[in-house]
Amino acid sequence: MKIIYGIKEIRDLSKSLNMGFVPTMGALHKGHISLIEKSLEENEETVVSIFINPTQFSPGEDYIHYPKTLEQDLEILKKLNVTAVFVPRSDEIYPSDFDITLGVPSLENLLCGVTRPGHFRGVCLILMILLNLLKPQRLYLGRKDFQQLTIIQKMCKDLLIDTEVIGCPIFRDLDGLPLSSRLAYLDSSLRSAVSLFPKALSAIIQSIDNGNQDSVYLKENFTSLIQREESPFYEILYADFYDKETLQPIDDVKKSIFCAALMVKTLEKSVRLIDNIPFEISSYYPQSEKNILLKCIES
């Protein structure tokens, strides 16, 4: 496995590769690994990047303290047999005279964008830079970050980027919570308290499967399940049924994706947890997404 730090080197290598690309911020877990394995299956070569992108952190977020486990990450990637890992230097990606902004105005200020101003602009920027450098055939992103996926699909479509954007299923922990690098911030009691989140999501799935399609009732039920314990430790940032392309709230639950975010407050910091469940079943959103969550909750 090649470990590449420089822009010139990654440009030279990329010219000769037919590749799938998996961008990450490191602190790799099984969620990331599931994306990498999908790319390994579907492409001759796979390149993974590890870069904690400063422009996607809002002021006061955890940029400085974001978990860094590079040695461990490189070991994991070596075992997976990826072709190369790109670990760029921040000052090479963003030189001091860097002066470009990118965004998708109709999508970037909704859902997580309300409380993370500028976040999706930073995500667009770094992915555009990486896509320009690597020119991959396929880009693998997680459906856990559904708004991010939707925005990057739109950016690639509008800018005629010659890369297929592939959304990959959410990899869940045993209690149903999506794996996330930020779960490491939670102590065991908070970790078990937030398992109410997947439970409340599975209650929506069960209600809809039982024929209840009243979006107002379903949302209220979700909120009351999460707030059952009147916990001062978390706050629901949003929870609604959305149209998959416009990210606008819709009432027709069967055509929607339910997305929610929870802000968990620890003594030192606030931790954002996000999750979603699609209700319009298609080859892109198979029934298995719902079944996996239900199974976690049952066991």
Three-class SS of the chain? CEEECCHHHHHHHHHCCCEEEEEECCCCCHHHHHHHHHHHHHCCEEEEEECCCHHHCCCCCCCCCCCCCHHHHHHHHHHHCCCEEECCCHHHHCCCCCCCCCCCHHHHCCCHHHHCCCHHHHHHHHHHHHHHHHCCCEEEEEHHHHHHHHHHHHHHHHCCCCCEEEEECCCECCCCCECCHHHHHCCHHHHHHCCHHHHHHHHHHHHHHCCCCCHHHHHHHHHHHHCCCCCCCEEEEEEEEECCCCCCECCCHHHCEEEEEEEEECCCCEEEEEEEEECCCCCCCCCHHHHHHHHHHHC
Please state, in angstroms and rounded to a whole number, the distance separating the CA atoms of residues 147 and 244: 9
Minimum separation from the CB atom of position 123 to ligand AMP (A): 9
Please state, in angstroms and rounded to a whole number, the distance separating the CA atoms of residues 165 and 136: 10
∠ CA 216-221-226 to the nearest 5 degrees?
130
Q: Single out the residue of 104, 141, 156, 264 in contact with ligand AMP (rule: CB under 6 A).
A: 141
Which of 29, 32, 65, 119 is catalytic? The answer is 32
Which CB, 174 or 216, lies closer to ligand AMP?
A: 174
Which CB, 80 or 179, lies closer to ligand AMP?
A: 179
Minimum separation from the CB atom of position 236 to ligand AMP (A): 20
171 scored as a contact of ligand AMP (CB under 6 A):
yes
Which CB, 36 or 218, lies closer to ligand AMP?
A: 36
Residues 207-236 that bind ligand AMP (CB under 6 A): none
Minimum separation from the CB atom of position 35 to ligand AMP (A): 5
Q: Which stretch binds ligand AMP (CB under 6 A): 71-79, 170-178, 194-202, 257-265?
A: 170-178
Pull the structure tokens for residue 250.
């819709």
144 scored as a contact of ligand AMP (CB under 6 A):
yes
111 scored as a contact of ligand AMP (CB under 6 A):
no
Q: Single out the residue of 3, 25, 128, 292 in contact with ligand AMP (rule: CB under 6 A).
A: 25
65 is catalytic: no
Q: Single out the residue of 10, 14, 20, 32 in contact with ligand AMP (rule: CB under 6 A).
A: 32
Minimum separation from the CB atom of position 50 to ligand AMP (A): 8
Minimum separation from the CB atom of position 154 to ligand AMP (A): 16
| Residues 178-197: x where in contact with ligand AMP by CB under 6 A, - otherwise, as a string | xxxx----------------
20 scored as a contact of ligand AMP (CB under 6 A):
no
Q: Which stretch binds ligand AMP (CB under 6 A): 59-67, 140-148, 259-267, 269-277?
A: 140-148
**Residues engaged in binding ligand AMP (CB under 6 A):** 24-25, 31-32, 34-35, 141-142, 144-145, 168, 170-171, 178-181
Known catalytic residues?
Answer: 32
